Amino acid sequence: MDLTIPVLGQPKVRSPLKLSSESGDLVPDFVHDDDRLLFDVSAKNLREALCKNPDVLPLSFERAGPREFLYFDPSKTRVGVVTCGGLCPGINNVIRALVMELHYHYGVRRIYGFRFGFAGLSPEAGYDVIDLTPEEVNDIHHDGGSILGSSRGPVSAEVMVDTLDRLGMNILFVIGGDGTLRGALDMYQEISKRGMRISIVGIPKTIDNDICLVEKTFGFETAFSIAIEAIRAAHVEAKGSPNGIGMVRLMGRNSGYIAATAALAEPNVDCVLVPEIPFKLEGERGFYTWLQGMLKERGYAVIVVAEGAGQELMAKAEKEQCDASGNVRLADIGLFLKDSIAAELKRKGIVYNLKYIDPSYLIRSAPANPNDSLFCLSLGQNAAHAGMSGKTGMVVGIWNNGLTHVPIREAVAQRKVVDPESDLWRSVMDSTRQPARWE
């Protein structure tokens, strides 16, 4: 991995932030580019790395934060903000944090919002650019969704960069998930090819928490917090009926983080099905046998399933369809399991009562909870610091509780998924007592 962060040029404009360059003076300090956070904080691995090559710093991230010198002159800087992809708790919080930091602390007065995702950067769509002022964004953090709206679907990098050039933009803040960040990477590469001086700074947004080299994405904590309410309801329904089954379908196309974390936070779950771990329905160690054993032993069962789980069990269309973002449209594992469980138990002559809950859109449209609000504030502020100092082709992330700069190319190189051998999944096994493998 190469964690080097591209810069537009030598920062020469002194920052207007009233911070310190000395420690011990009771004033918060500027951050220097050589202040780095280790990728691997294991003492054993650090010792081995230093013994192997003591003159080379082990793999590390550039630390996020305000720099003493800026690349852009705040009085002449034009900034754009765009939000793309599915909705997620906390988008408005990030927009607000960006505007407030740029306006009040840096003195940037020209901050614009592009409407409805990357489509807002295409003249053909005809969407107006809106002014983002402190008055406009002051109360938006109380609301879910995005004040700018959002959309899926690509727009050519050439068209988007032409728009940025025509409007005289210096920095574009891109708030979105894996597909959005790939679009941001395309823009960065097109800008570099043209030799332009426009900064592209990403802020990773995905409920699924699947961005590589980013420990946690905003909205994730709110998502599993709301999912807990659905699990509690499923538990009450299941426990209140003979052979009751409560099933909750949660987000997670490729990564089962929400399902796993929600099941740990509300530990009345008996089984968690995620995309990372295949399962089968039939057989002595299949899902049907496990479910019937649970009903016989305890009289009810609570199941949490991520939307991307079990796709191999369902018939594929002759030609896979994709959404506007290029994601393959998933078959509905929740409804499939609901119907297949009903057919199996009916075939076995077992009387049951199954309640199925899908809280996906309640979760997506919710405002951020207090912890996510704090996190969004930090991400927005540190994205502003990065952009003003000339950092580009990067996203603001978090790693081992420290805010970092991550090259976009590395963040989108692969998806982060639940490791079946990790502490997280071991905790799920301990809590649910479900089989470690479905054989």
CB-based burial of residue 44 (10 Å sphere; 0-12 exposed, 13-18 middle, 19+ buried)? exposed
* Pairwise CA distance, residues 77 & 243, whole Å: 64
Catalytic residue among 25, 40, 128, 208: 208
CB-based burial of residue 360 (10 Å sphere; 0-12 exposed, 13-18 middle, 19+ buried)? middle
Parallel, antiparallel, or unpaired: how do β-strands 271-273 and 300-306 relate? parallel
73 is catalytic: no
**Maximum pairwise Cα distance, the chain:** 78
Q: How many CB atoms lie within 10 A of CB 55?
A: 5
Which residue has tokens 């992330």?
397
The answer to whether 300 touches 244, Cβ cutoff 8 Å, is yes
State the amino acid at position 76 in one-letter form: K
- Measuring CA to CA, which residue among 137, 53, 145, 148 is closest to residue 101? 137
By annotation, the residues acting in catalysis are: 208
